[in-house]
């Protein structure tokens, strides 16, 4: 009997593993290969883990995100969609519209020593400015694409409220792109000043 139970348990585990692989493959198929290539180019990472939040945001990550991280992503979008509706915006207000990449942090503390998992991204329009670290800047997050709507942020082990804030703030750019192009044009480039939250 013991070995029979053991074999059944292994069979169930193998079936569950196959289901997870199948589910991961389905998410990967829905994710634009060019979008994945862009995320890999920007971060220098590979994203072997594909999953989704409870509310349906597609998540690609360097390693399996914790339930707290996934919940923080949903919370950030919840807050973003609420403020967007207050402004009368209607486009891109569905969790399923978004893909989030979770990259390896290039630093875990900012210049003041505060916990701040950030990614190093090309300086671009920030070159030569205050944030330029020699051809790159440290960013809490970065919009990767507007269609499909996607952005990237760094892995967090704590301070999950910060994840919710990054999700809301990066998401603001996408919401504005689809709902208020003049305000988007004014606020898309932080190198000229301004910051988040854009929408109050």
Q: What contacts 105, CB < 8 A, 6 or more positions away? A: 117, 118, 119, 154, 155, 156
**Residue 198 belongs to some domain of the structure:** no
* Full-model pTM: 0.80
Domain around 17: 1-30
The answer to whether residues 55 and 1 belong to one domain is no
The answer to whether residues 6 and 84 belong to one domain is no
Q: Give the model's pLDDT for residue 22.
A: 37
**Residue 124 belongs to some domain of the structure:** yes
DSSP 15-61: HHHHHHHHHHHHHHHHS-HHHHHHHHHHH-----EEEE-TT--EEEE
**Residue 135 belongs to some domain of the structure:** yes
Give dist(CA 154, CA 78) in Å, integer: 20
pLDDT > 80? residue 169: yes
pLDDT band for position 162 (cuts 50, 70, 90) = very high
Q: What is the mean pLDDT of residues 169-187?
A: 94
Q: Give the model's pLDDT for residue 73.
A: 98
Domain count, the chain: 2
pLDDT > 60? residue 38: yes
* Tokens 């990237």, residue located: 152
CA neighbor of 124 nearest in space, from 51, 198, 188: 188
Strands 58-61, 98-103: pairing is: parallel
The answer to whether residues 20 and 51 belong to one domain is no
How many angstroms from the chain centroid is the CA of residue 44?
15
Please count the CA atoms within 13 angstroms of the CA of 130 that sit on its side-chain side.
Answer: 5
CA neighbor of 178 nearest in space, from 142, 145, 153: 145
Q: Give the model's pLDDT for residue 131.
A: 59
Give dist(CA 149, CA 103) in Å, integer: 17
Q: What is the mean pLDDT of residues 164-172?
A: 96
pLDDT > 50? residue 23: no
pLDDT > 60? residue 24: no
């Amino acid at each position: 009997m013991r070995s029979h139970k053991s074999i059944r348990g292994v069979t169930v585990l193998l079936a569950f593993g196959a289901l997870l692989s199948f589910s991961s493959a389905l998410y990967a198929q829905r994710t634009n290969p060019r979008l994945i290539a862009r995320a890999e180019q920007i971060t220098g990472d590979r994203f072997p883990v594909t999953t989704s939040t409870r509310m349906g945001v597609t998540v690609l990550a360097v390693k399996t995100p914790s339930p707290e991280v996934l919940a923080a992503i949903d919370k950030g979008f919840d807050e973003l969609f609420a403020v967007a509706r207050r402004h009368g915006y209607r486009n891109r207000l569905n969790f399923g519209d978004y893909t989030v990449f979770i990259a390896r942090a290039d630093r875990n503390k900012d210049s003041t020593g505060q916990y701040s998992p950030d990614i190093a991204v090309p300086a671009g329009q920030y070159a030569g400015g205050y944030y330029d670290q020699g051809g790159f800047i440290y960013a809490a997050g970065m919009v990767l694409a507007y269609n499909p709507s996607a952005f990237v942020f760094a892995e967090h082990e704590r301070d999950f409220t910060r994840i919710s804030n990054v999700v809301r703030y990066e998401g603001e750019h996408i919401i504005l792109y689809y709902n208020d192009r003049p305000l988007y044009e004014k606020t898309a480039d932080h190198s000229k000043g301004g910051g988040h939250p854009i929408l109050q």
